[in-house]
Homo-oligomer: A and B are copies of this chain.
Amino acid sequence: MELQGRHLIDPNDLTLEEIQTIIDLGLKIYNNPTNYAELCKGKILGTLFYEPSTRTRLSFESAMLRMGGSILGFSDASTSSVKKGETVADTIRVMDDYADILVMRHPREGAPKLASQFSTVPIINGGDGGHQHPTQTLTDLITIQYYKNEINNLKVAFCGDLLFGRTVHSLLKTLSRYPNMSFILISPPELKIPYHLRDEILQNHNVEIIETHCLETYMPEIDILYMTRIQKERFFNEEDYVKLKDSYILNREKLQSAKEDMLVLHPLPRVNEISYDVDQDPRGKYFDQAKLGVYVRMALMALLLGVVESC
């Protein structure tokens, strides 16, 4: 398997074929988990969380345990040797003896990349600063695949904080590599997608982008609505925030004009940008998305570890 022994730092490390391999295996495991319950027996996942992230860490840990493997690690840099001034490179050269695969979350951009240059075992980037979070992107993609059958010819709207949102940037860049995609970028002017990213996507790919500040206008056309959290502190003044905050709360009323089979996704945690009344709407798939995230991580780790011959 060509993925064996590789690292995953950036979604761009993977070809679309490789992504498809991971997604397909993830869905196979999802449909028949007992077949894979011993796949990683004797394997150890090391979780190196230099900043806390319960959800990402536990998703990986659950994925490894559900394949019969074991877990060790730390969930907080304050209890790690980093306090004694050790470099990431040195930590990795020890940790790769303790575990067979490592997932690293780090507040500094590029730390997992650096780690991968010193590790003898696969390193997965579990989020580095505002930079990349490739397994969130894989989670988003497996969810789209599961509900839409293929990732092709879709109108995907991103709503909320498009300026700082690492998740949005990663997914947007990756989706723009797929055929026939168009994007609706919904945000207040203060939180628009960075120019360089928009230009990168537009120049390199045959995609369509619409930028708007209004959530409702394009609702009837959207296939996938990807919501993100807007943080009050990102606004320049209180007045702007008060004016805008309600426009970006998705509720059941606003969903009335949407397609029957639109998907509402969210990387979670949700604060108040999706009302609780959407939870009962069949279009709200954000919790299913979190669940599928476990399976895509199972597939990813199994492939990087080389414990499956083929998918």
- Residues on A lying within 8 angstroms of B by beta carbon are 37, 42, 44, 46, 52-55, 58-59, 61-62, 65-66, 68, 70-76, 78-81, 83-86, 90-91, 93-95, 97-99, 268-271, 287, 290-291, 294
Contacts and interface: CB of A to CB of B under 8 A. Distances in A.
Nearest to A83: B52
Given A62-B99, A97-B62, A74 B54 contact: yes
A84 B294 contact: no
A294 B81 CA distance: 17
A62 B70 CA distance: 9
A61 B72 contact: yes
A271 B97 contact: no
A235 B68 CA distance: 51
A269 B75 contact: no
Most chain B CB within a 10 A radius of its CB, from A53, A58, A68, A287: A58
B98 A294 contact: yes
Contact of A98 (B59, B97, B270): B59
A86 B287 contact: no
B65 A97 contact: no
Nearest to A84: B269
Contacts of A62: 44, 72, 97-99
A270 B90 contact: yes
B270 A97 contact: no
Nearest to A295: B97
A98 B44 contact: no
| Those 8 A-B pairs whose CB atoms lie nearest each other, nearest first | A86-B269, A52-B79, A62-B98, A97-B291, A54-B80, A65-B70, A61-B72, A94-B290
Contact of A271 (B78, B85, B99, B291): B85
Contacts of A76: 79
A52 B81 CA distance: 8
B42 A37 contact: yes
Given A74-B75, A75-B74, A271 B84 contact: yes
Contacts of A80: 52, 54
B37 A86 contact: no
A73 B74 CA distance: 12
A93 B287 contact: yes
A88 to B, nearest CB: 11
Most chain B CB within a 10 A radius of its CB, from A52, A79, A85: A79
B86 A270 contact: yes
B55 A81 contact: yes
A90 to B, nearest CB: 6
14 contacts: A37-B42, A52-B79, A54-B80, A59-B98, A61-B98, A65-B72, A71-B72, A84-B271, A85-B271, A90-B269, A91-B269, A93-B290, A94-B287, A98-B294
A266 to B, nearest CB: 10
